[in-house]
Structure 1
Amino acid sequence: MPDVRIVIGGREFDVSCQPGEEHFLRAAAKLLDNEAQSLVSQIGRLPEARMLLMAGLMLADKTAGLEDQLRAAEDRAALAERVASDARTQVERVEVPVLPQPVLDTMAEIAARAEALADQIEERLAG
């Protein structure tokens, strides 16, 4: 198991982790160190246990806030998905009737007769 030396609040710690997890440990230690440095700059030197406790609580508070934001974003995403799903299921269905060919033929014949009658009427009015 690899040992990693980390620095938190100006203090060094040797910590063991699983092989390949060193970069995660260093990243987590950096977050904790940032909070600890903030405490040290504001309050001054603190006992190790108190510094670690306070820095951990500050990180926990930030994490809780981010979890609340994530939950709210997930709720908004779920609502948007429900609205989109409802919209997809409520698409108006439009049916276009298909006329049988004999009906179309009959209508074309009627139209041709009407045009012929119109031509006859125009000829009589002109002559």
Structure 2
Amino acid sequence: MGQVTVRVGGYSHPVSCEDGQEAHLVTLAGEVDRRVASVKTMGAQYGESRLLLLAALLLADEVHDLKVELAQARAGIIPPQSRVPVDPRLAETLSRVAERIEGIASNLEKS
């Protein structure tokens, strides 16, 4: 059984894990620490347990959003932010730029 000490919100926490999972656990603790830091930037002074609770709620909210996105993707539903109309003139300009880049790349390959 592996063990690491992670630092979250300025507090050290010894945590056990499966052997070989130590680096992964440190990465996860880093994610929690980033959420704790974002809560701290709000200016209020919270104790350790409150900070960890708020960080957990932020992470739970992110997980919820990802689950909704995944379910929509599996159902073939396009999220609203993906439905942004494309300006046909911009699409045409980008297409011409892409063709020019391909032509330049082709000429470089011949050289």
TM-score normalised over the length of structure 2: 0.64
Distance 1:10 1:47 in 2: 11
In the alignment, is residue 47 of structure 1 matched against residue 47 of structure 2?
yes
Identity %: 32
Number of residues of Structure 1 aligned to a counterpart in Structure 2: 77
Deviations 1:34-68 (A, max 9, x none): 10010112134311111111100100001100110
Query: In the alignment, what sits opposite 2:71?
Result: 71
SS in 2 for 1:34: helix
Query: In the alignment, what sits opposite 1:109?
Result: none
TM-score normalised over the length of structure 1: 0.56
Alignment of 1:36-115 (within 5 A): 36-76=36-76
Q: Which ranges of structure 2 fall in alignment gaps of 5 or more residues?
A: 78-111
Query: In the alignment, what sits opposite 1:15?
Result: 15
More helix by share: 1
RMSD (CA atoms): 1.4
Moved over 2 A (4+): none
SS in 1 for 2:75: helix
Q: Which ranges of structure 1 fall in alignment gaps of 5 or more residues?
A: 78-127
